[in-house]
């Protein structure tokens, strides 16, 4: 039995132009020598607009306590997640009460009862639905999450749903001595979003993308290159400029390993959903895989329109690929994050995988 992605739903908070965010807030957030550097980083981030549940133009959370940020997370994440799940269920033609597993990925907020419990209640899921919450995996969490719900579908023969919801805007850090380059980069890139996918047993009457293969590699010698630390003033991002070099060392080998298991090569892939961690990340993937510029058009478009939304971002790219006039038949999804960890997933149109 194949596990098939049969529905996708996206929910986004209000958008603001990157230039307006810079002019209206961050131009005053950084002073002295940091100001010119920050301006260049914002201008070269590849981001045109970003979405945020808490816009710094309206509400400055930089000095909020972690407790206050977590309370706001719960208030904002529930309706945003509900909208994404509603849309995914409608797209798949599946009722909430029919789900056997509901998995949630989020690293930007914690509370109990969490999103999995509250949304299962509010959306009318069965009291017997199994739930899974995946936290602190960061930007690549969608792919192990997708692997888990797909394994459930294959083993149980019942539909499952994955929700990725991140509110990075709640973790704006205060200016001052700790406003290092890594913080400037994260402030220039990160955004908020929720994305959900419904995975069902294969059904010829409802085509989708079969989850054919999933693989990962973690280079623990670079574990300090990407961090997400809980502080008294929210969660603080650590993002080394060495990350693209680590990705360059591993990406081609892992992609070829996944494809070769199915008798395929890079040339057989007509859709690439690459997590747009930043422009340099996309440049490295394109170079190492010898891809034409058009292959990463959707990934670059998502970065420009939405920024880096952490775990939902690769699902936003998948959604864009599905909306092509002629959708691709074979998609490689690629995401990376703390560890440093790289995940690769192969999807095939359900007619190919049948």
Q: What DSSP assignment string belongs to 136-195?
A: S-GGGTHHHHHHHHHHHHHHH-S-EEEEEEEEGGGGPPPSSTT--HHHHHHHHHB-EEEE
Across the chain, what does the average pLDDT equal? 94
- The per-residue pLDDT for 310 is 97
The residue annotated as part of the active site, out of 105, 107, 139, 164, is 139
Tell me the per-residue pLDDT of 219-266, one tens digit each, with 9 for 90 and over.
999 998 899 999 999 999 998 888 999 999 999 999 999 999 999 999
Q: For the segment 131-183, what is each residue's pLDDT rounded down to a tens digit? A: 999 998 999 999 999 999 999 999 999 999 999 999 999 999 998 655 688 88
pLDDT-wise least confident of 81-95, 202-216, 268-282, 285-299: 202-216
Q: State yes or no: is 139 an active-site residue.
A: yes
244 to 280, 300, 309, 337: CA distances (angstroms): 7, 16, 18, 11
Q: Decide: helix, strand or coil at residue 283.
A: helix
The answer on pLDDT for 95 being more than 60 is yes
**Which whole number is the average pLDDT over 78-101?**
98
Q: What are the residues whose beta carbons fall under 8 Å from the beta carbon of 27, sequence distance 6 or more?
A: 35, 39
Segment among 13-22, 173-182, 322-331 with least mean pLDDT: 173-182
pLDDT grade, residue 296 (50/70/90)?
Answer: very high
Q: Where are the beta strands (DSSP E) in 80-129?
A: 101-105
Domains and CATH numbers, the chain: 3-201 (3.40.47.10), 210-353 (3.40.47.10)
Give tens-digit pLDDT for 39-69: 999 999 999 999 999 999 999 999 999 999 9
Q: Please answer whether residues 182 and 238 qualify as being in contact, where contact means their C-beta atoms are separated by less than 8 angstroms.
A: yes
């Amino acid at each position: 039995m194949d596990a098939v992605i049969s529905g996708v739903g996206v929910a986004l908070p209000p958008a603001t132009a990157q230039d307006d965010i810079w002019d209206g807030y961050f131009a005053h957030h950084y002073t002295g020598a940091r100001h010119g550097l920050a301006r260049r980083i914002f201008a070269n981030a590849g981001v045109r607009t970003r979405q945020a549940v808490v816009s710094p133009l309206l509400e400055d959370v930089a000095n909020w306590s972690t407790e206050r940020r977590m309370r706001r997370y719960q208030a904002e994440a529930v309706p945003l997640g509900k909208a994404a799940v509603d849309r995914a269920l409608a797209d798949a033609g599946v009722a909430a009460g029919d789900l056997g597993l509901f998995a949630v990925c989020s690293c930007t907020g914690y509370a109990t009862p969490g999103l999995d419990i509250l949304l299962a209640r509010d959306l009318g899921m069965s009291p017997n639905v199994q739930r899974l919450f995946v936290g602190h995996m960061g930007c690549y969490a969608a792919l192990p999450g997708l692997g888990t719900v797909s394994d459930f579908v294959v083993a149980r023969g019942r539909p499952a749903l994955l929700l990725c919801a991140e509110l990075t805007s709640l973790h704006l850090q205060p200016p001052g001595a700790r406003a290092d380059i890594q913080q400037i980069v994260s402030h220039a890139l990160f955004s908020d979003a929720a994305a959900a996918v419904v995975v069902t047993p294969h059904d010829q009457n409802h085509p989708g993308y079969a989850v054919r293969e999933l693989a990962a590699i973690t280079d623990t010698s670079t574990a300090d290159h990407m961090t997400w630390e809980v502080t008294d003033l929210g969660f603080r991002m650590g993002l080394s400029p060495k990350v693209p070099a680590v990705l360059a060392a591993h990406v081609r080998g892992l992609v070829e390993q996944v494809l070769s298991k199915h008798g395929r090569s890079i040339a057989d892939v007509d859709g690439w959903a690459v997590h747009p961690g930043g422009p340099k990340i996309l440049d490295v993937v394109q170079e190492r895989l010898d891809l034409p510029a058009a292959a990463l058009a959707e990934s670059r478009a998502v970065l420009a329109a939405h920024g880096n939304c952490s775990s939902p971002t690769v699902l936003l790219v998948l959604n864009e690929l599905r909306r092509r006039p002629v959708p691709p038949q074979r998609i490689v999804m690629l995401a990376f994050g703390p560890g440093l960890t790289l995940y690769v997933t192969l999807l095939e149109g359900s007619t190919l995988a049948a």
